[in-house]
Amino acid sequence: MIKKSFEKQKNPNQICVLMPSGSIWSKEFGFKTINHDYSQIEKHIKDATKKNKEKIDRTLKKNKILFFKEKYFHDYFRKFLKSTFFPFNLSFKFAFLIKEFPTDTIFLCIIDGRKKKTKVLKIKNESEIFQYQLSFIIKTSAQIFNDCNKKVMHNTFTASKLLEIILISPKSTTRVNKYFSLVDFYENDCLPISKLFSIRNFLIFLRRWREILDIFYYLYLIKLKKFKISELW
């Protein structure tokens, strides 16, 4: 889809190359791509599901016997909220929706950014999520949620976890993006802001000063010059 959209631009200075898994590129030899028929995606999904059925079933079975660890949730998000303050703060409420299969219980784990508090409610069905003035809901399994809280790894959520995001308020999309950005900062030792002034981070900045300049140049082009991302090449 992206390649078709790209080629409609008819830009002679750029090419778009599809690189299926296993493809490589090098400065010396250029592209070496693996043949992959994208029209067979449904068949590939079925084949992969069949191939990994035992592993998938084992994971699903494990999730059905796990209990939601409320302590892990409070410990993680109270520390996270404590690290945030203006302008790096959350001025809204959102929640995680977790189903505990052994007890057939649905937990609504609320994070209140304005009051910097966390709360866990037991609800009877998912339709109740609209009663609590939440901006958005992230729905995932107890196993994934417990691991993310215990291992401090929420910044990998969108890339590698099974989740569903339910947008509720008009500003949901913006707030979801802000939440994930702050989590990324927090788990990469940039929050609270005082951590940025450590010797370790100072040495990192010295090594990567070009990237910092690139960020300011990017903001200048996007925010002030109103360039489109596709024009930044």
Q: Are residues 182 and 214 in the same domain?
A: no
In this structure, is residue 61 part of a structural domain?
A: no
Give me the CATH number covering residue 175. 3.30.1050.10
What pLDDT, on the 0 to 100 scale, is given for residue 13? 81
Q: Are residues 135 and 217 in the same domain?
A: no
64, exposed or middle or buried, with CB in 10 Å at 0-12, 13-18, 19+? middle
In this structure, is residue 43 part of a structural domain?
A: no
Say what the pTM is. Answer: 0.72
CB neighbours of residue 150 within 10 Å = 14
Mean pLDDT taken over the chain: 91
Q: Are residues 146 and 176 in the same domain?
A: yes
Record the tokens describing residue 191, joined without a space: 């929050």
CA dihedral 80, 86, 89, 91 (to 10 degrees): 140
Q: How many domains does the chain have?
A: 3
In this structure, is residue 123 part of a structural domain?
A: yes
Q: Are residues 184 and 202 in the same domain?
A: no
Q: Are residues 216 and 184 in the same domain?
A: no
In this structure, is residue 45 part of a structural domain?
A: no
Q: What is the pLDDT along the chain (233 residues), one digit of tens a residue?
A: 888 888 888 777 888 999 998 999 999 999 999 998 888 989 999 999 999 999 989 988 888 899 999 999 999 999 999 999 888 889 999 999 999 999 999 999 999 999 999 999 999 999 999 999 999 999 999 999 999 999 999 988 777 778 999 999 999 999 999 999 999 999 988 888 888 787 887 888 888 889 889 989 988 988 888 888 777 76
User: What is the rounded CA–CA span in Å between residue 14 and residue 229?
Assistant: 14
- Tell me: the pLDDT tens digits for 166-181? 999 999 999 999 999 9
In this structure, is residue 15 part of a structural domain?
A: yes
In this structure, is residue 55 part of a structural domain?
A: no
Q: Are residues 114 and 223 in the same domain?
A: no
Q: What is the 3-state secondary structure (H, E, C) of the chain?
A: CHHHHHHCCCCCCCCCCCCCCCCEEECCCEEECCCCCHHHHHHHHHHHHHHCHHHHHHHHHHHCCCCCCHHHHHHHHHHHHHCCECCECCCCEEEEEEEECCCCEEEEEEEECCCCEEEEEEECCHHHHHHCCCCEEEEEEHHHHHHHHHHCCHHHHHHHCCCEEEECCCCHHHHHHHHHHHHHHHHCCCCCHHHHHCHHHHHHHHHCHHHHHHHHHHHHHHHHCCCCHHHCC
User: Domain limits at 18?
Assistant: 2-32
In this structure, is residue 99 part of a structural domain?
A: yes
Q: Are residues 157 and 202 in the same domain?
A: no
Q: Are residues 109 and 207 in the same domain?
A: no
Q: Are residues 184 and 212 in the same domain?
A: no
Q: Are residues 27 and 134 in the same domain?
A: no
Q: Which amino acid is it at 196? A: L
In this structure, is residue 165 part of a structural domain?
A: yes
What pLDDT, on the 0 to 100 scale, is given for residue 233? 64
Q: Are residues 139 and 116 in the same domain?
A: yes
Q: Are residues 75 and 181 in the same domain?
A: yes
Angle in degrees, 0-180, between the axes of helices 41-51 and 53-63, rounded to the nearest 10: 70
